[in-house]
Structures are given as C-alpha cells and as structure tokens.
Structure 1
Amino acid sequence: MDQTTLDKLQYEDLKKLVKEYCVSDYGRRLVDELTPSSDIQTVKKTLTETNEARRILETGKTIPFIGSANIKTMLTKLNQSTVFQPDELIEMADFLRGCRKIRALITAEKTLAPKLVAMIDQMASYPEIESKLYDDIRNHQVDSSASGKLRKVRRHLEMTEQKIKDQLSRFLSASGNQRYIQDAVISLKDDRFAIPIKANYKNQVSGSIVGSSAKGTTVFIEPAAVGKLSSERDQLRGEESVIVYQILAKLTNLVAEKQTQISQNIRIIGELDFIFAKGKYSKAINGITPALNTEDRIKLVQCPHPLLSADAVPLDFTIGDRYRSLIITGPNAGGKTVTLKTVGLVTLAVMSGFQIRAEKGTTIAIFNNVFADIGDDQSLTNALSTFSSHIRNLSNILENTGTRTLLLLDEIGSGTEPNEGAAIAITLLQAYYKKGAITIATTHYGEIKDYAQNHPDFINAAMQFDVKNLRPLYQLVIGESGDSNAFWIAHKMAIPENLIAQAKGYLRHEPYDYTKIAPELLPVHHEAKAAKNNALAKGDRVLFNGGTLEGLVYRIDQGTDKVVVYSSGKMLTMPGKQLKLKMAASELYPEGYDLNQLFR
C-alpha cells in the first residue's frame, strides 16, 4: 500500500488508537507492523477474530494478560543463556498462569469464538513448571523451602548473626564503653554489623572501622570480639549465594527446556493481545463488521470519520453500482475533503481488520490499491510549485492505477489557470476511468461538473450548505452539483445587489463591460473625502508616515487629537492630523460585523 496515501489519510493515527488497548510489547509491535490487506479472505478472517474478541468482552470477562508485558525480552535473555533472577522467574510463572487461564476462558466460549479457540488450542500449558516457580520463589528471593541444603545454611546463618548481635548488645551495655558510644544501636554498614563510635575515640576501641558518618563525627566499628563470628557469617553467605545460583539455574533450565513451546505461546498471546485490542477498540466505538466485496462497491450508512468525535456528522455515501466516478462540489470548509478522508480511512480500517462506526447496510470494497492526492505537497527544496507537485502525484497515480483501485483526489486540476486546469483534470479523470479505477474527486470547476453530468458512468455530488445562516451542513447529496456559494457570501457581506447581478450575468457569458470613464467623471477619491472630513471611527483603514504605512483605527482618545492605530502587530498613538483615511470601516465590513475581531 502506498505510504504517502497512508500518511495523507492518517492511518498511523488510527493505529495509535488501537495500540492504546494493547497490554504486551509483542501486541504493540503487531499493531506497528500492520498494513491493510488486499486479500478478502484475510480481511474476513481478521474481522471475524475481532468480532469474536468483542463478543467475549461483552460477556464482561477480563482477559488475564498477566506477565505478558516484557516476556519477549526475557525469552531473548534465555537465548543468551542468561540465568533468570527471582523476579524474572515470577514474571515467567505469571505468564504461564496467564496462558493457562486465557486458554480456559476462551475454551469455555466455543460458541462465541470458534476461531480464537482454534488459536489457543496450539498453546501449551505447564502447570507443573508454574507451580515449581511459585513454590521456590517468594518475596522476591529463592525461598528456603527450595532446598534442604539452603534451609540448613540459612538456619546456621541466622544463628550466627544472632550471636553477633548478642555480642554487640553486651558491648553496648558494658559501662566501660559508654563514653565511646555515639548512639546505643547496632548498625549495618557495608553488610557488616557495627557500633556507632565517637570519632575522637576511634583509636580507643579495638576492632575494624567499616564506615563513617557524612560529617565525620561518627565512625562505625566492628568490635574485635565479633571478628571470628563475622568471618563465619561471610563464609555462610558465600555458601548461600552458591546454592541460590544453582537453584536459579535449575529453574531457568526448566523454562529453557520448553523454550520452543513457550516461544509459540508468546506468539499466540501477542496475537491474542492484538486481536483483543481491536475488540476493545470496537467495543469503545460500538463498531460493526460491514459487508465485503471485491466488485468496487462502497456504501456507507451513517458512517463518521474514524478520528472525529462521537458527535461528528456521519456520512451517507455510495459508489460502484450505477457509477464509478463521483465528483464532489460545494463551498470551501464544507466537508469535501473530510468526505474523501472518511471513505479512504474507513476502507483502510476494514482492510486492516478493524470494525467501524456505521449502521447496518454498510458495504466496503477490498481494493488492491488506494491512492490519495490531498493537500499541498509543495516542495521548496525541489522548487516545485503546488500545481507541479499536484500533477506529479496524479501522474504517479496514473502509472500505478488499475482495476480494484480507489482514487481520492482533492481539488483535481487546481493551482493553475482554470481553463487549462479543468482540461487536464477531465483528461486524467477519463484515463483513470478507462484503467478501471473507482474515483472520488472534489472540484470547484464548472467544466468538470458538466463533464460528470454528461458522462454515463460519472455523477455529481454536492456538500449541503445552509444559505440562510451561511454555514456548511457537512452532508453529501449524490446526484446534485453544488457551487461555492460565492453569490450568497457576497450578498451577506454587503456587496451591492447590482454588482452581484452583473457578476451572475458574466457567469451566463454575457459580455464584459469595457467602457472607459473620462477622468473628470470619476468619483472623488477617498483621500479627497478625508481632507474634507477628518472624523475617524474604529476599524477605518488609514495611511500615515507620508502615506508609506497603513493601519486600522483602534481608538480615538476623546478630548485630544490622539488616535490609537493598529499597524504591523503594534498599537501606535499619534496625532489625528497625521492620518489620512483610506477607506471607512462602513465600506469595508458588513453591518453588525464585530470589529474587535480585527485586533485579536
């Protein structure tokens, strides 16, 4: 699939929404690697899996993906013959328990999820390894019950440490030692039991200095009386470490012996995590599985753009049955581009196994290719104009277009002289059509509308516009052609009616007015008016600095000759006599216009 198109249609943003529902790194990686499939059987399979996951979730059951987050990393360590630490073995036990519980949970839902049951049938369960790991590792360490030898060494170690503490307690209670002691406590410094001694008495106490305080006023001394016991303790700690390592190695080996099967479990759990992420996303949006086809037929019923909020205006749309090319017209910001992106992203979503927000009756075609030419790809480094870049994209699309291809073309032929642009656009639309593509294009050009009106396999569509309130309705009506509503906007913006009527006449190919007016018959220039009338008002456009600078009147300070003018992003205060009126606000803006918007 064309990466530029995926970027234009915000496919990665859609995948991010799904990825948020993943639990494991493996599942997130599967989302990252996902691309739309052109094989209808693959799409059917993935949509069925998504739907089965959704069904299980709707029963209220929680899928226990415990221990799955970093399991792939642990298996990599296993491949490197690394002995697992206690916490890693517990995480492996959690993973094995999760596998067992997921297997039991999904198996119990055979009627709801037959395909997922077939998947988990390939998973292995190892309850004996799981139990062994939980029994031998407790409280983040190897438990004494894991080995009789370990139990014996730890008991001896505990007795030795108690003897050391008893000796130190006697040291603390001896009256002759009181003047040396900083605090009457037994401290542990660098794994050695010691007594806090005042620094100026450190040479008066027999023993080894094992540390000191930050200020140096206290030293920690291990008295000579416990030296032999400390050596015995060190020896026991060494024996304990050897036995613990041997147990960890043995437990790691238990896992390593099942490495192949556990690797398969990891793969299946990762896939299940991915599938249930799709199911969670579907449940969140109340998605549906649409009907599928390979006959280029698309029908959207109340289908909003996947990335827009729940209250976005849904789209009703159809193509591929009675016509193969659809030309959308209407005002700027009326929703034409959103319509293209909605059709494109919904198609990619379904081809990726995602359910979509839509109503029953929705049908999606599975295409070999989807191409989009949307937005301005002007390249400054290559000195390409907007039109040059636009035509380059259209040329590349033409080269790669064939049957089972969806084309989404925004403002086709724009960016150049209108007549030439329209001619090139119509020629390309013909070429795409003859190569078997399904084309959805937007335009303002009347010639393209006329072409679509007369071609038996083309049709016009219009984005609805509320002319009374001057706002787009974001609704598509197929079979009608729209316009840019320029005349309605001109009327609302107080363009004189006689000028609007004159413009409509030009649109009907009435002759243009080429009459020359003698200079003496021209109206008085605005600057001349200004000379006669220096009264200014907020929003007036004025000249200053000898007519070289321009600004808008923001405020007239009453009782003074001072006027505050907004120019080049700054507020300037100057005498009114230095200003010349260029055009009054009453001539610039319609009645009722909020002039404060000019200064924000």
Structure 2
Amino acid sequence: MNMMTFDKLQYNELKEIVKSHCVSGLGRELIDKLQPSTNLKVVHNRLNETTEARKLLDAESHLPLKGISNINHLMEKLEKGMILSPTELIAISDFLRGCRIIKKFMMGKEFFAPVLHSFAYSMMDFQSIEEEINYSIKGSRVDSEASKELKRIRNHIAKAEEKIEELLNKFLKSSANKEYIQEFFISKKDDRFTVPIKASYKNQVAGTIVEISSKGSTVFIEPAAISKLNAGLGILKAEEAIEEYQILATLSGSILEHIRQIYINIELIAQYDMIFAKAKFSKSLDGMEPKLNNHGFIKLRNCKHPLLTGNIVPLDFEIGKDYRSLIITGPNAGGKTVVLKTIGILTLAVMSGFHIAANEGTEIAVFDHIFVDIGDNQSIENSLSTFSSHMKNISEIMSASTNNTLLLFDEIGSGTEPNEGAALAIAILEEFYQMGCMTVATTHYGEIKRYSEIHSDFMNAAMLFDSEVLAPMYKLLIGKSGDSNALWISKKMNLREKVLQKAQHYIDNKNYDLDRVKASKVKKPIQLIIQEEVTYDFEIGDRVKLLDQDDFGIVYEKKDSLNNVFVFYQNEVIKVNIKRIKLEGKATDLYPDEYDLKTLFVSFSERKFQHDIERGSKKALKKVSKEIKKGLIE
C-alpha cells in the first residue's frame, strides 16, 4: 500500500469514523497505527474478533469499558523513578479496576466469544493495589488513615491551628486593636495565619508583615503572639509532607513491581477498545463479515460505500473468476469513479478487520498491494501535466506490482491525443494483465471497449443511463459496454436528425463524407469600389465641426504645412488637424462678398465698445482715458 492509495480511497477518513467509537486514547492510538494486512490469516482473525464483539454488542445492553484511560505516560514516569501524585495514583486505580471488571465480564463469554474470552486469561488482577490506593487516597489527597504517623501529625496540626485561631480571634476582638484592623477576619498567606491591618498602623502592631495588598492600603501581619505557634506549625507541615511522600513512594513502588504485567493489561485493554469500536461501527452501518480468499476473487452483493450517506445505490460487482480485467464505460457523472472507490475502500476496510455494508455471498480478496490512479495528479512543483503525472504514477505502480495486486484506474490513457491515448492504455492494460494483476479501469475510448470485447480474459461493464430523462442511474451492469450518451443528449437538444445519423454512421464504420460543397452554395466575393477622398482647403470664416469636442468653430487661419488649421473656438484660437474637423458651411455661402470676416473673431463686447468710440460715447471715452492714466501710473 502507499499513501496515494489511502488518500484517494479516503482510508484515513474511514479510520477516523471508527476511532470515534473508542472510549479511551488507548484504542484511538491503535486505530491510528492500524494498516490493512496482506496476510490472509491475520485478516481472518481481525474479522473474527470484530464479529465476536458485534455479537456481544447485539446481545448485551452494556459493555464495561467506560472509565478506561491511557496510563502509559504514568508508567513511563514510574520507570524514570518519579513518584506519582495522588490524582495519578487514582487514575491507575481506576484503570486497574476497569481491567478487573472487563476480565470478569469476558470470562463468562467463553462460548459466545471464544477469541475475546481468551484475551482475558492474559489479563491480571491487581485488586490489592487498587484497594491500597483507594484506602490511602481520598479526595485527591493522601488520607489521614494511610498511616499512624500521618494521623498523629495531622492531629497535632489541627490542634496547633485551633490554638492559633483562638489567639487571633482574641486579637481581633480586643478593643485595643480595633483601630488598627482593616477587616475583622483571619487570612492564611503562604500557610501562615495573618490579620489585615491598616497600612498606616503597620508599625503599631507587633508582628511580621507577610503580605501587602495590591493597592497598598492593607498589610497582612502575623502577630508576634502567634509567631512561635506558626513556626511550630511549619515544622509539623514539613513532617506531614515527608510522611505523605513516603506513602506515595510506597504506592508507586508497589505499582512499579508489577509494571510489566500492567503493560500487558494496557495492551489488552487497547485491543478490546479497538475491537469494540470496530463492532460499534459495524452496528452503525448494519455491517457483516464477508468471505475471504487470497486468489484475487471479488464479489460484491448490494455493497455500499462506508463514507457515503443518504439514498445510496448499492453496488453489485464481480472480478477474478471468469475475467481478470474489467473495463467500465458510461456517461460523465454516472458513478464510474464511485465504483472504483467503493471497490478499493471496501477491500482496505476488510483487510483492516472492518465489517462492510453488504449482503450474504459477498467475498473479498486479500491483496499484496492495492494501487490507484484516480483524479488529477498534476504537479506544479515538478512541472508535470495531468497526462505526465498519470504516466509517472502508472510507471511506479508497474514497478511495484505483483501477481496479487488490485489496480484501479480512472479514465486510463486520458489527457492526450485520443488515438495515442487509447493505444497506450491498451498496451498498459495488456502489461498488467500479463503480470497477473487484477485490474478495474474506466474509459470513454471506444478502442479500449472493442479490445475488451475480443479479449477472453477482459470484460466490459456499463454504468446505466436513463436516456429518457438524461440522468445516470448509478448502477453497474457487467457484460455490457456503455457510451457517453452524447448522441442521446444531442437528440434531446434538437440537433438535426441528419447530423445524428451521420455521427452514428461515422461511429460504426469511420467512412467519412469527403464530397466538396456545390459551387452554387458558395457565396461569390463582392468587388468594392473605393473612391479617393476629396481634399478641401479650409478657408477663413468657414464653419466647421470639431469632432473631438462635438461642437462648432470658425476657421481663423488656413492649414499649415502639417495640415493643421487654426480654429476660433470659445473666444480662443486652437490648432486642429484637418482630420479632426468637418466642414459645416463655407464662408462664401455664409457671408456677403464685402463682409469683414475679421469681425467674426471679435467678441460682442469688443464690437460694442468700438462702436461706442466711433459714435463719440462719453462713457466709452472716459473708459479709454482711465485706462491710459492707469497705464501711465504703472
């Protein structure tokens, strides 16, 4: 097997679903490591374990596997000489109790589940260690009854604390201290008894400052009256810690003495967790154990892909008895790829010990290898096209395959020129056939279908298609070749019947119509007569349209050597190429013969001012005089 096979067939996704049924990390770790086995006996044993667990699930309302946890990391700590904490010891006690319960449960299932029953013989009881831990530790701490010395020390601690609290309560109730006290309660800071004193009176109270509040307004003082008692309490606390350590060390040591056998228990519990997870998965899909063989024969009866949900069309499939290579044809999106993936994932599932959703009579072969070439393997990093990447993959598959290999090829030979692709695909299929491989391939190429028809050890199969509603039926029919239904679709789209008949004719015998079209059907060329453009020399005063501005102006000056004309437009003279203007009216047509064209380029206000000067207007003369003076001043 290789990672591409697992990836394309979604094997790891299947394992994730099974893993979700585990009750501990022990079973999940085993499923993470699980790989399909190529050994027929191993696969048989795996399936038998799953079947026995499924029977127990169906018969029992409860399986005593809850409360089991992974304690491997705690065992590693013990091997390193570390002392376990109370909570860690409780976890080991819970695990050992779980082992004892599951052993007791399985010991009574000898005739119902003999293999799983046999596991229980290898599991050892450690009830004495359980009881010792549970006696010594309660509420996540070492219990006072764990030893006489610990009980004595804690009694002294209780008396010392009682005496300290009594003195502190007297201190708080004393009227002499009332002014100093911030709040009237006893506070423990770092296992030392203190009272909260106002910061401004910290020097008025005899004692040791243990802590200051975050705002600095309160100091927590251990009064001098209890300092000696607090010191004695500290000694007792140290003695308590030493005694607790001794008890924890003793408990840890008793576990370490049996660590090898406990490791065996861990392995067995992990196996039980994984096997029952497989059984729960089997129950969720109403699975069954198929027959097995090691000679490449696969027979699927009403099988379903384990990852697909909803209204799934079950698959009936067979290979390895009357033929060793199957060529599947049919329309796009008709389910060909799903067929390949279903065959692949069901085989991997069975080789991993998983039940599959199928009917009785289903049989699965155990292969040395399962290789797939499905989907677009284009690689940008390696500059490989889709076709190149397929050929690279097939080349690697060819090097690794044996006579006990299952091959699943989707659209074999595609991605290149059809004739070459079909020929290359046939050659590849022949080579794998000669190597003794079991091959299932999908294709659209008619040449491959025809080759399969004439080869005695090849078989065609078709994905059924409802031609009336133009919809795939997702059902495989072995022994019949299908097509892409292009003609059916074209007919439904009202393509001319004549075209469809010719297409069918070409499909059948490749006898193409090479007659030339009749001369009367060909349109004659029309000779265009192109007249030379008549040039015009624009004259001063001509009215022209400025094409860029979509507005009108008057020719101010005739064209220069560069064919530019000066045009009076919006009280300005602009230069425009003659190609960017269009004649709207000649000056000779617009004005009388003796008309002074210069007035065209003078604004109305200027013409009125000139007229006022000529008629002796005082206002105009005054304006002229004013401008003269202004000019003299400047």
Q: Which residue pairs with 2:627 in the alignment? A: none
Q: Which residue pairs with 1:443 in the alignment? A: 443
Q: Which residue pairs with 1:570 in the alignment? A: none
Instruction: Return the offset for 1:417.
Output: 0.8
Q: Which residue pairs with 1:154 in the alignment? A: 154
Q: Which residue pairs with 2:213 in the alignment? A: 213
1:556-583 Cα distance to aligned partner (Å, 9 max, x none): xxxxxxxxxxxxxxxxxxxxxxxxxxxx
Instruction: Return the offset for 1:489.
Output: 2.1
Report whether the alignment pairs 1:6 with 2:15. no
C-alpha spacing 1:522/1:120, structure 2 compared with 1 (3 Å): farther
1:459-493 Cα distance to aligned partner (Å, 9 max, x none): 11111112222221111011111111112222334
Report whether the alignment pairs 1:302 with 2:302. yes
Give distance in 2, aligned partners of 1:274 and 1:198: 64
Superposed, 1:398-417 pairs within 5 Å as 398-417=398-417
Q: Which residue pairs with 1:364 in the alignment? A: 364
Q: Which residue pairs with 1:543 in the alignment? A: none
Matched residue of 1:177: which SS? coil
1:10-55 Cα distance to aligned partner (Å, 9 max, x none): 1111111111122333322211111111111111111111111111
Deviates more, 1:250-259 or 1:187-196: 187-196
Instruction: Return the offset for 1:521.
Output: 4.9
C-alpha spacing 1:514/1:157, structure 2 compared with 1 (3 Å): farther
Give distance in 2, aligned partners of 1:267 and 1:305: 31
Give distance in 1, aligned partners of 2:59 and 2:107: 14
Give, as a single letter, the amino acid of the residue that structure 2 aligns with 1:322: D
1:509-567 Cα distance to aligned partner (Å, 9 max, x none): 241456458899569xxxxxxxxxxxxxxxxxxxxxxxxxxxxxxxxxxxxxxxxxxxx
Give distance in 2, aligned partners of 1:403 and 1:282: 31
Q: Which residue pairs with 1:123 in the alignment? A: 123
Give distance in 2, aligned partners of 1:41 and 1:348: 15
Report whether the alignment pairs 1:342 with 2:345. no
Q: Compute the TM-score of the two structures, normalised by the length of structure 1.
A: 0.84
Superposed, 1:174-213 pairs within 5 Å as 174-213=174-213
Give, as a single letter, the amino acid of the residue that structure 1 aligns with 2:512: P
Q: Which residue pairs with 1:589 in the alignment? A: none
Q: Which residue pairs with 1:598 in the alignment? A: none
Give distance in 2, aligned partners of 1:242 and 1:430: 79
Give distance in 2, aligned partners of 1:493 and 1:171: 102
Deviates more, 1:225-234 or 1:505-514: 505-514
Q: Which residue pairs with 2:168 in the alignment? A: 168
Instruction: Return the offset for 1:66.
Output: 4.9
Instruction: Return the offset for 1:242.
Output: 0.3
1:70-101 Cα distance to aligned partner (Å, 9 max, x none): 31111111111110100011111111101100
Give, as a single letter, the amino acid of the residue that structure 2 aligns with 1:411: E
1:89-142 Cα distance to aligned partner (Å, 9 max, x none): 111111110110000011111112100111110111011111111110000000
Q: Which residue pairs with 2:490 in the alignment? A: 490
Q: Which residue pairs with 1:539 in the alignment? A: none
Give distance in 1, aligned partners of 2:103 and 2:180: 66
Instruction: Return the offset for 1:144.
Output: 0.5
Superposed, 1:18-57 pairs within 5 Å as 18-57=18-57
1:246-295 Cα distance to aligned partner (Å, 9 max, x none): 00000000101111111111111111111111111111111100011112
C-alpha spacing 1:110/1:96, structure 2 compared with 1 (3 Å): same
C-alpha spacing 1:161/1:385, structure 2 compared with 1 (3 Å): same
1:414-444 Cα distance to aligned partner (Å, 9 max, x none): 1111111111111111111111111100000
Report whether the alignment pairs 1:287 with 2:287. yes
Instruction: Return the offset for 1:324.
Output: 1.0
Give distance in 1, aligned partners of 2:520 and 2:212: 102
Q: Which residue pairs with 1:596 in the alignment? A: none
1:351-392 Cα distance to aligned partner (Å, 9 max, x none): 111111111111111111111111111122222221111122
Q: Which residue pairs with 2:377 in the alignment? A: 377
Give distance in 1, aligned partners of 2:500 and 2:462: 23
Matched residue of 1:247: which SS? helix
Report whether the alignment pairs 1:428 with 2:423. no
Q: Which residue pairs with 1:140 in the alignment? A: 140
Q: Which residue pairs with 2:562 in the alignment? A: none
Q: Which residue pairs with 1:511 in the alignment? A: 512
Q: Which residue pairs with 1:567 in the alignment? A: none
Q: Which residue pairs with 2:476 in the alignment? A: 476
Give distance in 1, aligned partners of 2:371 and 2:352: 16
CA contact (8 A) 1:212 1:218 kept: yes
Instruction: Return the offset for 1:223.
Output: 1.1
Superposed, 1:242-261 pairs within 5 Å as 242-261=242-261
Matched residue of 1:176: which SS? coil
Give distance in 2, aligned partners of 1:341 and 1:255: 49
CA contact (8 A) 2:69 2:95 kept: no
Q: Which residue pairs with 1:88 in the alignment? A: 88
1:132-186 Cα distance to aligned partner (Å, 9 max, x none): 1111000000000000010010011001101111111111111111121121111
Give distance in 1, aligned partners of 2:311 and 2:448: 33
Give distance in 1, aligned partners of 2:519 and 2:120: 91
Q: Compute the TM-score of the two structures, normalised by the length of structure 2.
A: 0.80
Superposed, 1:534-553 pairs within 5 Å as none
Once the two structures are aligned, what percentage of the paired residues are identical? 50
Extract unaligned runs of 5+ from structure 2.
525-634
Give distance in 1, aligned partners of 2:66 and 2:254: 20
Report whether the alignment pairs 1:460 with 2:460. yes
CA contact (8 A) 1:413 1:421 kept: yes
Matched residue of 2:52: which SS? helix
Instruction: Return the offset for 1:498.
Output: 3.7
C-alpha spacing 1:233/1:66, structure 2 compared with 1 (3 Å): farther
CA contact (8 A) 1:464 1:476 kept: yes
Matched residue of 1:408: which SS? strand
Give distance in 2, aligned partners of 1:413 and 1:520: 42
C-alpha spacing 1:58/1:428, structure 2 compared with 1 (3 Å): same
Instruction: Return the offset for 1:340.
Output: 0.4
Q: Give structure 1 regions of 4+ aligned residues with deviation exceeding 6 angstroms.
A: 517-520
CA contact (8 A) 1:65 1:95 kept: no
Report whether the alignment pairs 1:105 with 2:74. no
Q: Which residue pairs with 2:79 in the alignment? A: 79
Deviates more, 1:333-342 or 1:272-281: 272-281
Matched residue of 1:313: which SS? coil
C-alpha spacing 1:522/1:241, structure 2 compared with 1 (3 Å): farther
Give distance in 1, aligned partners of 2:8 and 2:318: 22
CA contact (8 A) 1:67 1:91 kept: no
Counting matched residue pairs gives: 523
CA contact (8 A) 2:328 2:463 kept: yes
Deviates more, 1:242-251 or 1:180-189: 180-189
Give distance in 2, aligned partners of 1:211 and 1:494: 93
Give, as a single letter, the amino acid of the residue that structure 2 aligns with 1:428: I
Q: Which residue pairs with 1:324 in the alignment? A: 324
C-alpha spacing 1:94/1:320, structure 2 compared with 1 (3 Å): same
Q: Which residue pairs with 2:58 in the alignment? A: 58
Deviates more, 1:309-318 or 1:56-65: 56-65
C-alpha spacing 1:515/1:200, structure 2 compared with 1 (3 Å): farther
